[in-house]
Structure 1
Amino acid sequence: LKYDAQNRSVISGIKRVSKPGLRVYVKSKKIVPVLNGFGISIISTPQGIMTDKEAKRLNVGGEVICSVW
């Protein structure tokens, strides 16, 4: 893990979005930022696994795996 100057973990939370019983898919136009841009979403796309910012830039949607902040 990575720690900041006060010896606190940089990652403060992780939430699994898609689960085996409930898959969550999102189109590129519907990708929303996590915590107003302070976090990221990990998205599995046909072009591979990428962050929400990369998927939006490449105009590709996919399955939202998790959110990290």
Structure 2
Amino acid sequence: MTDPIADYLTRLRNAITANHRVVEIPASNLKKDITKILFEKGYILNYKFVEDGPQGTIKIALKYDKVNKVNAIKKLIRVSSPGLRKYAGYKDMPRVINGLGIAVVSTSRGVMTNKEATDHKIGGEVLCYIY
């Protein structure tokens, strides 16, 4: 696997399309940080890190609307890839749907949203858009 973040987003996207309640994803520190951001921003219901084997897994409970059965995540878009990295300074940080969505940014101070990176006045690699 050459792009673990794209695999993470694809597993989430496929679970949402199939209306699954829980999805299991192989763990890494970067994936754990992205999962924490998704939980803090209200895109997923809950998560659990399971330490089994050398790598471990992440169990993510997806969040659905009770009435319409619509998922909280509408789109997951991978921006920076191993073949073409996308970087942004804090002055030109992308806004996703005019501030309604989030961009996950990998900075020198860790993984954070575009709004947090702008507040701290640091730039970094734009990993993905979520809305």
TM-score (norm 1): 0.95
Q: Does 1:28 align with 2:87?
A: no
Sequence identity (%): 46
CA distance in 2, matches of 1:41, 1:4: 23
- Return the match for 2:104 from 42, 54, 57: 42
Could you tell me which residue of structure 2 aligns to residue 4 of structure 1? 65
* Residue 32 of structure 1: how far off its partner (Å): 2.5
Deviation at 1:17, TM superposition (A): 0.3
What do you get for the CA RMSD once the two structures are aligned? 0.8
What secondary structure sits across from 1:23 in the alignment?
coil
Where structure 1 has 5 or more consecutive residues not aligned to the other structure, the ranges are none
Give 1:58's aligned residue: 120
TM-score, normalization: structure 2?
Answer: 0.51
3-state DSSP class of the match of 2:115? Answer: helix
Aligned to 2:118, what secondary structure does the other structure show?
A: helix
Q: Take 2:65 and 2:102, find their aligned partners in 1: how far apart are those partners?
A: 18
CA distance in structure 1 between the aligned counterparts of 2:100 and 2:69, rounded to whole angstroms: 19
Aligned-partner SS, 2:91? helix
Q: How many residues are treated as equivalent by the alignment?
A: 69
Instruction: Mark the structure with the bigger radius of gyration.
Output: 2
In the alignment, structure 2 segments of 5+ residues that lack a partner are 1-61
Question: In proportion to residue count, which structure has more helix?
Answer: 2
C-alpha displacement of 1:64: 0.3
